[in-house]
Structure 1
Amino acid sequence: MSAETRYSQGTRRFGRVNWLGLYTLAMREVMRFVVVWTQTLLAPLVTAGLFLLIFSIAIGPRRGDVMGVPFTHFIAPGILMMTVIQNAFANTSSSIMISKVQGNIVDTLMPPLSAGELVVGYFAGGIARGLLVAVAISVALMLTLGLVPQHPLLLLCFVILGSAFLSGLGIIAGVYAQKFDQMAAITNFIVTPLAFLSGTFYSVEALPPVLYEITHINPVFYLIDGVRYGVIGVSDSAPLLGLGVSALAVSAVAFAAWVLFKQGYRLKA
């Protein structure tokens, strides 16, 4: 091996990780949504505000308190988390899907990046977008409703776990889908129901026994419930249980995404 080759590899890698390639991929994924911030950051804030306004006007005055807090305060954390996970999913799924359709996915696969580095790079973009959306909505809630997070560290943990979980699902969906129609079906029939039917707008204690049990095997329920505890200090389940379930869910989707990249499923001709 020549000195030039050794120097080239040394600048590209440090140890067993291609830090330069990983950083480049992560920055690409972050810049994808930052350059169109009106669509990726401002639009979710407006959508969350509309949800909160509509439910407050239509149901709030008649609903009364839920779990000892005003209805508007109860649903606000759920809307926050729902918006975060939808945007994290959109970030990774759209990135991979667009690259496949345009035929430039090879630009991501050809550099010396391992399957694990690809997963981490895509996760970085999804988590960054989820965190920025969460910060924007949290500031808006503080200014409009006076909601100051009661457990900010737990809130941060659940937002990161939620963003990571849906980023992983977004990778899986982006790899699996071959047309935008398929991606739309995944979003409409899987992601949206998961977000809406996980205690976002109600306490699961009000559900019939069968739906109650089904809800408790849905990882998104624990994410939304954990964020609710982080913001207003009340929840339907133990926060530590939610952290454990969420961490397991993130590990599962990360492993599945790693396997897909490792095999090149629907990515390599």
Structure 2
Amino acid sequence: MPDTISPAHGTRRFGRVNWMGLYTLAEREVLRFVNVWTQTLLAPLVTAGLFMLIFSIAIGPRRGDVMGVPFTTFIAPGILMMTVIQNAFANTSSSIVVAKVQGNIVDTLMPPLSGAEMVLGYLAGGIARGLIVAVVIALALGLILGIWPAHPLTALVFIVTGAAFLAGIGIVAAIFADKFDQMAAITNFVVTPLAFLSGTFYSVEALPTGLREITYFNPIFYLIDGARYGMIGVSDADPTLGLAIGLVSTVAINLVAWRMFRTGYRLKA
């Protein structure tokens, strides 16, 4: 969608932000998941709890310590971050693909919003959903397992970066997909494998050399690893390097999303 609109709607100047439109889009995206909180917030929390319970019972007693911490403590931040990024992705992707399938995406494209403003509006919903899930899981880990953030600010930065990265991927995937089957394929064959094969349940030091090198090319690995450092103070990679890779990846994917909105790629009839 171009950054200028017709004189009938007024002229947008370079650098000017439509704050009201941006706020309205962000508010809509937040209300979307808040209004169905049992599906969008409660269900992921139950799933995260089940992951913790199953892995703790099935593997924990035999696994021993990982990187000097109990196995349950080691996987807890990974499950937290995995839940965050999955929810951030689901929020943006479901919003756009449903609008495209139902034919009401035009309601978002017609208002005087630039491509950047639309990206930021959708990101706000994805990040908000990810943060709410993260806060609730973090509280549960602290109250039940006694796992409180070792570096709270670091954990917060990685959680927000991870949510923004996957929310951006959700935007790109939803714009590319024309129907629910295509969206499901992207989720099942791209997003889920990247999330599970990124050190969520194991240290990459336990992997064979080939797989370990492949993991280092997965940006989600650095996000999960950074969140683990923020939560329990241990990590496979340098958190500074991980944050740099996470930020670069987040900016890159959201630039792609901005370009798609700006040009109307697979959005305009």
| Residue 177 of structure 2 is aligned to residue 177 of structure 1 | yes
**8 Å CA contact 1:13, 1:20 repeated in 2:** no
Deviation for aligned residue 1:193: 0.3
Give the AA of the match of 1:18: N
The corresponding residue for 2:143 is 143
> Within 5 Å, which residues of 2 pair with 1:30-45?
30-45=30-45
CA-atom RMSD in angstroms? 1.7
What is the distance in 1 between the residues matched to 2:38 and 2:13? 36
Give the AA of the match of 1:78: G
Deviations 1:90-110 (A, max 9, x none): 000000000001100000000
- SS across alignment from 1:236: coil
CA pair 14-128 structure 1, distance change in 2 beyond 3 A: farther
Deviations 1:156-191 (A, max 9, x none): 000000000000000001000011011000000000
> Within 5 Å, which residues of 2 pair with 1:79-90?
79-90=79-90
| Residue 209 of structure 2 is aligned to residue 237 of structure 1 | no
What is the distance in 2 between the residues matched to 1:209 and 1:15? 48
| Residue 65 of structure 2 is aligned to residue 73 of structure 1 | no
Deviation for aligned residue 1:20: 0.3
The corresponding residue for 1:4 is none
Specify every segment of 5 or more residues in structure 1 that has no aligned partner in the other structure, as ranges: 1-7
Segments ≥4 residues shifted beyond 6 Å: 12-15
> Within 5 Å, which residues of 2 pair with 1:131-170?
131-170=131-170
Give the AA of the match of 1:83: T
- SS across alignment from 1:221: helix
What is the distance in 2 between the residues matched to 1:39 and 1:158? 25
Percent identity over paired residues: 74
What is the distance in 2 between the residues matched to 1:146 and 1:175? 42
So what's the TM-score if we normalise by structure 2?
Answer: 0.95
Deviation for aligned residue 1:13: 9.4
Give the AA of the match of 1:254: N
The corresponding residue for 2:189 is 189
CA pair 15-237 structure 1, distance change in 2 beyond 3 A: closer
Give the AA of the match of 1:46: V
Deviations 1:10-66 (A, max 9, x none): 9x9997000000000000000000111111111111000000000000000000000
What is the distance in 2 between the residues matched to 1:162 and 1:85? 6
Give the AA of the match of 1:85: I
Give the AA of the match of 2:60: G
The corresponding residue for 2:48 is 48
What is the distance in 2 between the residues matched to 1:80 and 1:231? 10
What is the distance in 2 between the residues matched to 1:157 and 1:217? 21
**8 Å CA contact 1:13, 1:19 repeated in 2:** no
Give the AA of the match of 2:43: A
Specify every segment of 5 or more residues in structure 2 that has no aligned partner in the other structure, as ranges: 1-8
What is the distance in 2 between the residues matched to 1:142 and 1:126? 24
Deviation for aligned residue 1:143: 1.2
So what's the TM-score if we normalise by structure 1?
Answer: 0.95
